[in-house]
C-alpha cells in the first residue's frame, strides 16, 4: 500500500511539474509583441520641412504613415491656428521672419505633433541692374541702376566691386577715373539685408570712342577773301578731320585745320548757312551748322 502511494505521488509531480513553464514563456512573448506594436502606433514619424524655410516657400509635412497623410492636418503659427491649409503642404502670406510653425495630425481621435521650425531670413534679390551710361566713353562717370526686392521688407544695401581691365578699381557706388578707349569695365553688385547677402549680379562694359567736341568758330572778311576759323577738340586725343558738307560751291576747307576760305567779292555779300563735319576717324563724327555773314550790312 505504501509503495502504491509513493508511485502515485511521483507520477503526479512528473506530469504537473513540467506543464506550466511553456505557457508562461509564450504569454510573455505575446505581451512584448503587443507592447512593441502599440508603441509604433502611438509614435509615428512626423516632420515638417525645410527646417530653414523662408516666408515665401512651401512647407511640407512628411510622414511614412498614409493614414496621417489622409488625415485632418492643422497648421499653427506661433501657437495660433492658421486655416490657410489642411493638407500636407502649407503656404500663407501671414508668415514673417522668426515665426514658429507647427503641424498637428489627428488620426482615430489621436493627435500627432510635428517638430517646430522657425521661418528664416530671406536674402534680397536683384531683379534689375544696368550700367549707366549704357554707352560709356572716357568722359563718363559710371554708376549702377539697381532694383531689388526683400521678402521680409528689410532695408537693402549694396556692395560694389569694380574692376578696370581685370584689376581692382574701387568699392564705391560709382567709378570715375582716367578712362581710355577700349578699357574693359566689370562690376559685381551684391545686395544685403541686416542678416544675409543675396546673390551678386555681374555687369560688363567697354569704354567706347568719344565724339569730337565743337568749341567755337569765328569769321573775318577783308572785302576779297572770307575766312572762317573753327575750334574743336577730342577727349581721346584723336587727330580730327574737317569737311564742308554745305556752303557756296567754290568755298573750301582745310581738312587738317578746319580753316574755311572763300574768294568773295562785295557783290556776294550776304548771309550764308554752312554745315561742317568734324570726324575723329574712329567712328566719332559731329555736324556743326553755322550761319555766317559775308560783307557788311
Quote the CA–CA distance of 3 and 137 in Å, as a whole number. Answer: 130
Characterize 261-294 residue by residue with b for buried, 16 or more Cβ atoms within 10 angstroms of its Cβ, and e for exposed.
ebebeeeebeebebebbbbbeeebeeebebebeb
Quote the CA–CA distance of 65 and 84 in Å, as a whole number. Answer: 23
Domain limits, the chain = 47-118, 125-206, 213-294
Q: Which of 217, 137, 211, 204 is nearest to 177 (CA)?
A: 137
CATH T-level assignment (fold) for domain 213-294 = Immunoglobulin-like (2.60.40)
Quote the CA–CA distance of 208 and 35 in Å, as a whole number. Answer: 81
Report the pLDDT value the prediction gives residue 26, as an integer from 0 to 100: 40
The dihedral region occupied by 51, where left means phi > 0, alpha psi between -120 and 50, and beta the remainder, is alpha
CATH T-level assignment (fold) for domain 47-118 = Immunoglobulin-like (2.60.40)
Q: Contact 24/31 with Cβ under 8 angstroms? A: no
Sequence-distant (≥ 6) Cβ neighbours of residue 150 within 8 angstroms? 122, 123, 124, 125, 156, 191, 193
Q: How many CB atoms lie under 10 A from the CB of residue 203?
A: 15
Which CATH entry fits the domain spanning 125-206: 1.10.10, 3.30.70, 3.40.720, 2.60.40? 2.60.40
What does the chain come to in residues? 297
**In CATH terms, are 47-118 and 125-206 the same topology?**
yes
Report the pLDDT value the prediction gives residue 293, as an integer from 0 to 100: 92
Sequence-distant (≥ 6) Cβ neighbours of residue 251 within 8 angstroms? 226, 244, 260, 261, 262, 274
Sequence-distant (≥ 6) Cβ neighbours of residue 218 within 8 angstroms? 228, 229
Per-residue model confidence as pLDDT tens for the chain (297 residues): 455 555 455 545 544 444 444 433 343 333 333 323 333 233 357 899 999 999 988 999 988 888 777 788 999 999 999 988 888 899 888 899 999 999 998 888 888 899 999 999 999 999 999 999 999 999 999 999 999 999 999 999 999 999 999 999 999 999 999 999 999 999 999 999 999 999 999 999 999 999 999 999 999 999 899 999 999 999 999 999 999 999 999 999 999 999 999 999 888 899 999 999 999 999 999 999 999 999 865
Q: Contact 209/280 with Cβ under 8 angstroms? A: yes
Cell matching residue 158: 549694396
Q: Which of 149, 143, 158 is nearest to 203 (CA)?
A: 143
Amino acid at each position: 500500500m505504501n509503495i502504491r502511494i509513493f508511485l502515485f505521488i511521483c507520477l503526479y509531480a512528473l506530469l504537473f511539474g513540467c506543464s506550466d513553464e511553456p505557457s508562461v514563456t509564450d504569454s510573455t512573448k505575446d505581451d512584448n509583441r503587443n507592447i512593441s506594436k502599440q508603441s509604433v502606433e502611438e509614435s509615428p514619424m512626423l516632420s515638417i520641412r525645410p527646417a530653414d524655410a523662408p516666408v515665401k516657400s512651401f512647407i511640407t509635412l512628411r510622414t511614412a504613415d498614409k493614414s496621417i497623410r489622409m488625415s485632418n492636418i492643422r497648421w499653427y503659427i506661433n501657437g495660433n491656428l492658421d486655416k490657410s491649409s489642411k493638407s500636407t503642404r502649407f503656404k500663407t502670406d501671414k508668415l514673417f521672419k522668426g515665426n514658429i510653425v507647427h503641424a498637428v495630425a489627428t488620426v482615430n481621435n489621436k493627435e500627432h505633433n510635428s517638430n517646430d521650425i522657425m521661418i528664416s531670413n530671406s536674402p534680397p534679390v536683384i531683379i534689375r541692374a544696368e550700367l549707366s551710361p549704357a554707352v560709356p566713353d572716357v568722359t563718363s562717370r559710371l554708376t549702377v541702376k539697381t532694383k531689388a526686392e526683400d521678402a521680409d521688407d528689410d532695408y537693402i544695401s549694396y556692395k560694389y566691386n569694380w574692376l578696370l581691365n581685370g584689376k581692382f578699381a574701387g568699392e564705391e557706388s560709382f567709378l570715375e577715373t582716367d578712362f581710355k578707349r577700349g578699357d574693359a569695365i566689370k562690376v559685381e553688385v551684391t545686395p544685403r539685408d541686416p542678416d544675409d547677402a543675396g546673390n551678386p549680379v555681374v555687369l560688363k562694359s567697354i569704354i567706347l570712342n568719344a565724339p569730337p567736341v565743337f568749341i567755337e568758330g569765328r569769321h573775318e572778311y577783308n572785302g576779297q577773301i572770307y575766312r572762317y576759323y573753327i575750334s574743336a577738340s577730342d577727349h581721346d586725343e584723336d587727330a580730327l578731320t574737317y569737311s564742308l558738307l554745305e556752303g557756296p560751291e567754290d568755298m573750301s576747307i582745310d581738312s587738317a585745320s578746319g580753316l574755311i576760305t572763300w574768294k568773295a567779292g562785295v557783290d556776294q555779300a550776304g548771309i550764308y548757312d554752312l554745315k561742317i563735319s568734324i570726324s575723329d576717324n574712329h567712328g566719332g563724327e559731329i555736324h556743326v551748322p553755322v550761319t555766317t555773314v559775308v560783307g557788311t550790312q
